[in-house]
Structure 1
Amino acid sequence: MKEIKAKPLGILHLEQFFKKIKLIGKVILMLLLSQKAVQAQKNITKQQLIWYGYYNILNINDNWNLKSEIQERQFVKPTAQHQLVFRTNLERKLIDKWNSSVGLTFFLQSSHNPNSESKQVIPELRPDVGISNKQKVSFFTILQRYKLEARFFNVLKDDHRTNEYKFSNFRFRYQLGLDFLLFEKEKSDKVILKIKDEVMLNVGKKIVKNTFNQNRIYLGLNYVINPSISVEIGYMNWFQQQSSGVDFYNRDIVRFSLFHKLSFKNNKHE
Structure 2
Amino acid sequence: MLPISRSSQVSFSLLSTLFFLLCQNKAIAQKEVVRSEQVWLQSYHEAKVSEKWMLLLDGGFRWRDGVDDKLAYIVRAGAGYALTPRLRASAGFAHLGGYAGEKVIRREYRPYQELQLKDQLGRLNLSQRLRIEERFFDDLAVGVSTADFNFRFRYSVMVGIPLLRLSAKNPDRRLVLNVGDEVFINAGQQITHNVFDQNRLILSPSLQWNKDLSIALTYNSQFASTPAPEVFLHSRIYWLQLRYNVDLGKKDRQ
Structure 2: unaligned runs, 5 residues or longer = none
Match of 1:132 in 2: 116
Aligned amino acid, residue 62 of structure 1:
E
1:150–1:167: 8 Å Cα contact kept in structure 2?
no
Aligned partners of 2:139 and 2:196: how far apart in 1? 25
Residues 65 and 27 (structure 1 numbering): CA distance in 2 closer, same or farther, change over 3 Å? same
Q: Which of residues 135, 156, 161 in structure 2 aligns to 1:175?
A: 156
Aligned partners of 1:217 and 1:157: how far apart in 2? 30
Aligned amino acid, residue 149 of structure 2:
S
Aligned partners of 1:54 and 1:118: how far apart in 2? 23
Moved more, 205-214 or 69-78: 69-78
Match of 1:244 in 2: 228
Q: Which of residues 222, 235, 259 in structure 1 aligns to 2:219?
A: 235
Aligned partners of 2:130 and 2:27: how far apart in 1? 24
Alpha-carbon offset, residue 133 of structure 1: 0.3
Residues 66 and 78 (structure 1 numbering): CA distance in 2 closer, same or farther, change over 3 Å? closer
SS in 2 for 1:121: strand
Residues 23 and 102 (structure 1 numbering): CA distance in 2 closer, same or farther, change over 3 Å? closer
Aligned partners of 1:19 and 1:157: how far apart in 2? 48
Match of 2:31 in 1: 41
Residues 189 and 16 (structure 1 numbering): CA distance in 2 closer, same or farther, change over 3 Å? same
Aligned amino acid, residue 169 of structure 1:
N
Match of 1:195 in 2: 179
Match of 1:110 in 2: 99
Alpha-carbon offset, residue 30 of structure 1: 1.4
So what's the TM-score if we normalise by structure 1? Answer: 0.84
User: CA deviation digits over 1:22-46, x for unaligned, max 9?
Assistant: 442222021011111111012x110
Matched residue count: 248
1:70-219 alignment runs, 5 A limit: 70-77=59-66, 79-95=68-84, 97-111=86-100, 119-154=103-138, 156=140, 159=143, 166-184=147-165, 185=167, 186-219=170-203
Aligned amino acid, residue 179 of structure 1:
G
So what's the TM-score if we normalise by structure 2? Answer: 0.89
Match of 2:15 in 1: 25
SS in 1 for 2:211: coil
Aligned partners of 2:250 and 2:182: how far apart in 1? 36
Alpha-carbon offset, residue 79 of structure 1: 2.2
Task: Determine which structure has more spread, i.e. the larger CA radius of gyration.
Answer: 1
1:171–1:201: 8 Å Cα contact kept in structure 2?
yes
User: CA deviation digits over 1:164-208, x for unaligned, max 9?
Assistant: x83511011111111112223333311111012000111000101
Aligned partners of 1:155 and 1:40: how far apart in 2? 31
1:68 corresponds to 2:68 = no
Aligned partners of 2:152 and 2:204: how far apart in 1? 25
1:197–1:215: 8 Å Cα contact kept in structure 2?
yes
Aligned amino acid, residue 69 of structure 2:
A
1:141–1:180: 8 Å Cα contact kept in structure 2?
yes
Matched-pair identity in %: 21
Match of 1:114 in 2: none
Aligned amino acid, residue 73 of structure 2:
L
Residues 158 and 137 (structure 1 numbering): CA distance in 2 closer, same or farther, change over 3 Å? closer
CA RMSD of aligned residues (A): 2.3
Residues 216 and 100 (structure 1 numbering): CA distance in 2 closer, same or farther, change over 3 Å? same
Moved more, 221-230 or 251-260: 221-230
